Structure 1
Amino acid sequence: MLTGEIRNKVDKIWTDVWAGGISNPLTVIEQLTYLMFIRSLDEKELENESFEAISGEAMPKIFPQDEDGQAMRWSKFKTKDSRVIYDIVGTKVFPFIKTMNGDNTTAFSRYMQDAMFLVPTPQVLQKIITGLDELYEHDIKDLDMQGDLYEYMLGKLATSGQNGQFRTPKHIRDLMVQLLAPTPNDKICDPACGTAGFLVSSAEYIRQNYESEMTSEQWDHFAGDMFSGYDTDRTMLRLSAMNLMLHSINQPNIDYVDSVSKQNSIASEYDIILANPPFTGTVDAESINDNLKIICDTKKTELLFVALFLRILRKGGRCACIVPDGVLFGSTKAHKSLRKELVENHQLQAVISMPSGIFKPYAGVSTAILLFTKTGAGGTDKVWFYDMKADGFSLDDKRSSIDANDIPDLLARFHNIEGEADRKPTEPSFLVDKSAIEANDYDLSINRYKEVVYEKVEYDAPEVIMNRLDGLNLDISAKMEELRGILGE
C-alpha cells in the first residue's frame, strides 16, 4: 500500500504531466508505466551484472553492449540535459522497447507495436524521471511498485469502478495463489487479467518454492506457455506484457479475447485458474458463447465467468476466483443453476467470505473467494466456510496497515482441513455437509450456516431496580437541600 507521502509525490508527478498538456488519465498512466518499465529494465540489467561479477557465470544482456546501446540505460541518461534525455528516450529507448522481444509473434511485441511516446516536452520528461527516481530510491524500493502505483493512479479514472479495472490487492492475490499452491508443471490462466497481477503472484510463488529444483524443461515452460491471460483492453495487455517480462516471463500467452464470447473457444486447457472477473454490467446476449448458457442462461458477467472457468479447466484443474456475494445467494434461475453445477457436478471445496472494505476505495461490495476443482462427476462432500474479518489493513478508504489479520490462520486451517472436522458453526471456520447445502437450495452464503451465540445477560428483578432508583432519588434530594443551605448562608 502507498503511504500518504508517496501518494503526494505521485500526485506531483501526475500534475507535472497534466500541466504539460496530457489530460487523458489513461494516457498519463500509460506514459508513466512505460518510463517505470524503462527504469526497471536498467535495474534488472544491474542485478544481472552484479550476479555475473560475483558468480563468474555469464548472464543474458538486455541492452546492446555498444556505446549507443549502453546510452539507452536509465542510469546513464537520467542526469543529462533535458533535451538530450528527450532525444534519447524518444528516438532510441522507445523504439528499442517496442521491438526488444523479437518478432511480432510474441505478446510483448504485438501489444507494444501501437504504443506511442507522448510526453510533450523535455522539461516534463525530466520532471517525471526525477520524480520516479526519488520514489524508487527513497520510498518504495521493496514494493510491487508497478502494481501499487497503477492501482493508485487508476483511482483517478472516473470509469475505473464501472469497467472493473481496479487491481486486486497483492496480499489477496498471494493468498489465493497459496491456497491453490501451483507447481512448475501447471498451466495457469487468468481470463480477465488486467495488469497480470495473478500471473505475477503465481510466478513469484513458483520461484520461491521450486526454483532450486526446477529442470530446464520446467524453466522453458515457465518462460513460455505456463502463463496465459486474456483481456479486452489493449492498454491492459501492454501493461501485462511489460509486467510479465520484468518477472522473466518472456513468451506468455497474453491475448486480446472477450473471454465469455463466441470468439473464445478454449476448453479443457488449464490446470489453474486465478481470477477476479468483472462484477458489473452485462454483455450482449447474442455474443455469449452457447456452452456457457447451458450452465447458466444469463447476461451477468460474474456468473458467466465462473461458467467459463469450468469450461477452460481440464479435469482435475482447480480454480480460486473472487465473486460478489450475490453469486452466493442470488435467487434467479441462473444463480441457482450455477451453484448447483458447482456442488453436484464438480467438487466445491471452500467459500471464504471477505470483509466489504477489501476493494476500497474503488468499491465497497462484499465479496467471497470460491475454490473448486473441475471433475465433471461430482465429488463435493463437505464445503469449508471461513469468515474472514480482517486482512491486515483498515477497511476504510485509507486501507492503513493494522495488526488484525486472519490470513495466516486461514491458510493454516485450509491446508489442514482434517483438523476442521470438529469445528462448530459458531466458530470462524467450519465444514458444512453437501446435504445441508442442497436442502438450502444451494445457498452458499456463510450466514445461512453460521450460528451466532448470544451471551445471556442477567438483570435484577424490577422491584430491586425500583428500590435502587428510590435510594438514588433520596440521595439526590438530600444533596440538593445541603446545596441550598450553603447558598443561603
Structure 2
Amino acid sequence: MSIQNNIDRITDILRRDDGISGAMHYTEQISWVLFLKFLNDYEENKADESFLEGTDYNHVLRKDLRWNQWACPKDDDEKLDVKRALTGDDLIDFVNKTLFPYLKAFKTNTNDPKSLTYKIGAIFEYLDNRIASGHTLREVLDIIDKLDFQSSDELFELSQVYENLLKSMGSDGGNSGEFYTPRAIIKAMVETTDIKVGDTIYDGAIGSGGFLVEAFEFLTANGKKERLSAKEWEKLQNDTFYGQEKTSLGYVMGMMNMILHGIESPNVFRGNTLTQNIRDIQEKDRHNVILANPPFGGKEKKQIQQNFPVESNATEILFMQHFIKMLKLKGRAAIVVPEGVLFQTNNAFTKVKQNLLENFNVHTIVSLPSGVFLPYSGVKTNILYFDRKGATKDIWYYEVNPPYKLTKNKPIQYEHLAEFVELFHNPQKRWKNYTKAKETRYDWTIPITEIKDYDLSAKNPHTIEVVEHKSPKELLASIKENDAEVNSLLNQIEILIDG
C-alpha cells in the first residue's frame, strides 16, 4: 500500500477522534507522528553509516524515547510486542506527560540554532498532542510504523504526500489557507529568479515553507545534487534558506515540510517579521534572492508601523518596505502582491512605489487571474519582480489566462504559467518581436516614462472587451458564486482607505 493510501487511512481514523476538528488539526497531528518516525529512520541510517566508518553515532533522542522503544516496540520476530506497546490512557499519559515535555525542552538545552536538537525543540515548542483516544493513537502509530523512510524513493513519496496534506489544510479555508501558496505559482517564481548554489534565499512569511522547499528541489533535482561538492552541499544545507513565520502552526508546518524534503538545517525562526526596524538592516543582513507571498488584508498597530519610513496599517505595504530593505546588491526578488499595491495611489502606496521604481529595477509584473487563492481569499493578485541593479526603465507585463474560471476545485496549474516562464527566459519571443494573433497576445512592455502617478496595474492593451449577456437566473448564480470574492475586496478597500 502506498504512503498516500496509508495517510488517507490515518485521516479517516483521526476524523473520528474527539480531539480532532478539521483538516488543520489532523494535518498537525499526522505531522508530529510522521516526523518522529522520520527522525527514527534518519538516526538509524546515521548510526549504520557511523558503524561502517568505525565511529560511534550520538543519537539525538534518549534511548527509551526513541520510536522503536515507545511507539512500536518489537519482539524477537520483529513483530509488535503487545506486552510493551502502550495503548489507551497509558499511551496518552506517556505522550502528554513524558514524551512531549522531553521534546519541548530541546530548544533550551542547546546553544546551537543550526543543530538538529535545536530544530526539534523549536518544532515541538509549539505542538501539543490533540489526539484524545489512546486507542486511536495506537492505530495511527501501527500504520506509520510500517513506512520506511530510509530509501530515497519513499522519502520522495513522503515529501509529495506531505505537500498534499498541506494543500488540503489550505483548501479547508479559514485561517489555515494563508499557509499554502499554489505549487504552480511557486514553481514558476523559482524558475524565473536565477537561483544558484551559494545564494541565500529568504522568505519573511514562510507559511508552510513552499518557496524554500521548491528552491531546494530546483537546486538539487535532475542530477544537480550529485554534481555538488561537499562544501557546496554543506552551504546548501546550513547557510542558504532563511525566513520567519508569525504563527506557531505555520512555523511548525513549515519546519517539518523543509526537514521532510531534505533541508536538514533551515535558518527559519518564529516571529513577526514586521517587528524589526528596517532602519537597522545592513548589507550583511540581506539576501541574494527573496521569494514570498506575504499576508495581505491585515492591519498592524501604530507601534509596528513606526519600524518603517512610510507608515501604514496595511501589511502588504509594510512587507514591501521590508523586502526592499532585505535585498542584497545585485539581488533578485519575486513577491506576490494584491492588486491594490499596483493601482493604489494614496500617500503611503505612492511613496513606496516611488522608492521601488527609482532605486530598484522593476522589470516584470505578472497579472494572476482571480480565484488563485480561493477559498482563502478571492482578491486578485500579481507577481512583482524586481532586482537591485539600478532604476526601472521598462516593465514587461504578462497576463495569465487559464482556459476556465478558477475555483476551489479547479485550481491554477503550472501549464497556465508555462508560456510566461518561456517568454521570461526568451525575450526575443515576446510579442513585440514575435507575430501572434492579436487576440492571443498576453504580454506587453511599458516604458517607465508612460507610467503615470505610480499606477503599475496591468492593463492589457491587446484586450478586446466582449459583452456577455446573461439571463437573470445566470446572473443570480454568478452573484452567489462571487460572494466570497466581494467580501474580500470590500475588506481590501477598507484597508486601502485606512492606509
Correspondence for 2:423: 413
Distance 2:22 2:402 in 1: 36
Q: Percent identity?
A: 24
After superposition, the C-alpha distances for 1:68-93 in whole angstroms (9 at most, x for unaligned) are 74615978679564952637866886
Correspondence for 1:117: 129
The answer (yes or no) to whether the contact 2:13–2:136 under 8 Å persists in 1 is no
Work out which of the two has the higher radius of gyration on C-alpha atoms and give 1 or 2: 1
The reply to whether residue 84 of structure 1 matches residue 82 of structure 2 is no
Deviation at 1:142, TM superposition (A): 6.4
Deviation at 1:134, TM superposition (A): 9.9
Distance 1:7 1:443 in 2: 48
After superposition, the C-alpha distances for 1:306-356 in whole angstroms (9 at most, x for unaligned) are 111110111111111101111111132222222232222210111111111
Correspondence for 2:475: none
1:340 to 354, 374, 377: 354
The answer (yes or no) to whether the contact 2:27–2:165 under 8 Å persists in 1 is no
* Paired residue secondary structure (1:229): strand
Correspondence for 1:307: 321
Correspondence for 1:177: 190
Correspondence for 1:146: 162
Question: Which stretch of structure 1 is more off in the superposition, 278-287 or 232-241?
Answer: 232-241
The answer (yes or no) to whether the contact 2:297–2:316 under 8 Å persists in 1 is yes
Q: 1:63 to 1:305 in 2, by over 3 A?
A: closer
The answer (yes or no) to whether the contact 2:305–2:312 under 8 Å persists in 1 is no
Structure 2: give runs of 5+ residues left out of the alignment: 467-499
Q: 1:286 to 1:130 in 2, by over 3 A?
A: same
The reply to whether residue 259 of structure 1 matches residue 273 of structure 2 is yes
1:422 to 427, 433, 446: 433
**Structure-2-length-normalised TM-score:** 0.73
Correspondence for 2:488: none
Correspondence for 2:399: 387
Deviation at 1:415, TM superposition (A): 0.7
Deviation at 1:291, TM superposition (A): 3.8
2:384 to 367, 370, 380: 370
The answer (yes or no) to whether the contact 2:72–2:85 under 8 Å persists in 1 is no
Question: Which stretch of structure 1 is more off in the superposition, 75-84 or 307-316?
Answer: 75-84
The answer (yes or no) to whether the contact 2:201–2:290 under 8 Å persists in 1 is yes
1:126 to 118, 121, 138: 138
After superposition, the C-alpha distances for 1:348-382 in whole angstroms (9 at most, x for unaligned) are 1111111112212222221111110024x41x222
The answer (yes or no) to whether the contact 1:72–1:89 under 8 Å persists in 2 is no
* Structure with more contact order per residue of length (Cα contacts < 8 Å, sep ≥ 6): 2
Distance 1:127 1:394 in 2: 41
The answer (yes or no) to whether the contact 1:16–1:128 under 8 Å persists in 2 is no
Deviation at 1:16, TM superposition (A): 2.1
The reply to whether residue 207 of structure 1 matches residue 220 of structure 2 is yes
Correspondence for 1:452: 463
**Structure-1-length-normalised TM-score:** 0.75
Deviation at 1:157, TM superposition (A): 6.3
Distance 2:72 2:46 in 1: 15
Q: 1:22 to 1:160 in 2, by over 3 A?
A: closer
Q: 1:358 to 1:43 in 2, by over 3 A?
A: farther
AA in 2 matched with 1:450: P
Deviation at 1:188, TM superposition (A): 0.8
2:408 to 380, 388, 397: 397
Correspondence for 2:248: 234
* Paired residue secondary structure (1:239): helix
RMSD between aligned residues: 4.1
Deviation at 1:123, TM superposition (A): 0.8
The answer (yes or no) to whether the contact 1:16–1:127 under 8 Å persists in 2 is no
Question: Which stretch of structure 1 is more off in the superposition, 194-203 or 210-219?
Answer: 210-219
Question: Which stretch of structure 1 is more off in the superposition, 346-355 or 113-122?
Answer: 113-122
The reply to whether residue 71 of structure 1 matches residue 34 of structure 2 is no
Q: 1:280 to 1:141 in 2, by over 3 A?
A: same
Distance 1:184 1:201 in 2: 14
Distance 1:63 1:121 in 2: 28
* Paired residue secondary structure (2:16): helix
Q: 1:90 to 1:189 in 2, by over 3 A?
A: same
Q: 1:114 to 1:260 in 2, by over 3 A?
A: closer
Distance 1:73 1:409 in 2: 52
Aligned pair count reads 435
The reply to whether residue 243 of structure 1 matches residue 240 of structure 2 is no
Structure 1: give runs of 5+ residues left out of the alignment: 456-489
Q: 1:430 to 1:282 in 2, by over 3 A?
A: same
Distance 1:175 1:323 in 2: 15
The answer (yes or no) to whether the contact 1:72–1:92 under 8 Å persists in 2 is no
The answer (yes or no) to whether the contact 2:398–2:444 under 8 Å persists in 1 is yes
After superposition, the C-alpha distances for 1:104-159 in whole angstroms (9 at most, x for unaligned) are 54251334245333432321203434676899999x94663223213323554643
* Paired residue secondary structure (2:321): helix
